[in-house]
Structure 1
């Protein structure tokens, strides 16, 4: 009997992509996470997605949104309200992962945030995401950064 090594990096990446889209919807519409998740599972090919990770991000990020916002807001160079919804969702995912998902190396968190911003964000937003998450990493992962 073979034992699974766990979710693949590409399955996690796909989970983040769907979670970003779901969080974008949640931010704009206020629809509950469970409703967004149910629809995504029906309307999308989710067979190669780390569904546990997708579920965790889609439910835990909104649950901790105020705390996450308070962690990254001091590192913004503009008003919180001027973040576009993609930047906001990306920063929330990255901050959540830095704080609560120590199983994901901080460099992976930053890289995945950059990739999400390149795919879904404005032209230069990936540089902004990189800068903010890079300033958070030493605070939230001081031992890992050493």
Structure 2
């Protein structure tokens, strides 16, 4: 039995980019690390083996974000702490993982526009986090961007005027 053709007005779900997939897998890896304490190689192997879409992720970006956000977790948490409206322990593990990945990218990947980093983090928080988790992530990352990319943020705001 064949399906009826979709109307041209039917909304299509856009395909995720390889970079979005890489960020999602990095967040999933950090989430797993927080909950299990497993080693990074074990977590990466699990992610590769448990999802057929892993092959469509930007592997270099995934490895950069995942391994380096883990390695720098303490300094990233220190950078995020002044912008949290609650104790870090009270931030959900999903939001914490999203914030760590995005903070690493904001601080160490200046070639990626700050607005892209924040937007990707918001979308990932919407996908994996709680109801309003994306709003919390947005607020924290907006403040962090002002600290670590002040000139870029100011230039972007001036263009919008």
1:90 equivalent to 2:109? Answer no
Q: Take 2:130 and 2:47, find their aligned partners in 1: how far apart are those partners?
A: 24
Superposed counterparts of 1:135-146, under 5 Å = 135-146=143-154
1:133 equivalent to 2:141? Answer yes
Q: Which runs of 5+ in 1 are unaligned?
A: 1-8
Aligned-residue Cα RMSD (Å) equals 1.1
The aligned counterpart of 1:37 is: 44
Query: Cα distance, 1:119 vs. partner?
Result: 0.5
User: How many residue pairs were aligned?
Assistant: 138
1:11 equivalent to 2:18? Answer yes
TM-score normalised over the length of structure 2: 0.82
Structure with max Cα Rg: 2
Query: Cα distance, 1:64 vs. partner?
Result: 0.2
Query: Cα distance, 1:143 vs. partner?
Result: 2.3
Q: Take 1:121 and 1:43, find their aligned partners in 2: how far apart are those partners?
A: 20
Q: Take 2:136 and 2:36, find their aligned partners in 1: how far apart are those partners?
A: 25
Q: Take 1:124 and 1:73, find their aligned partners in 2: how far apart are those partners?
A: 19
1:66 equivalent to 2:74? Answer yes
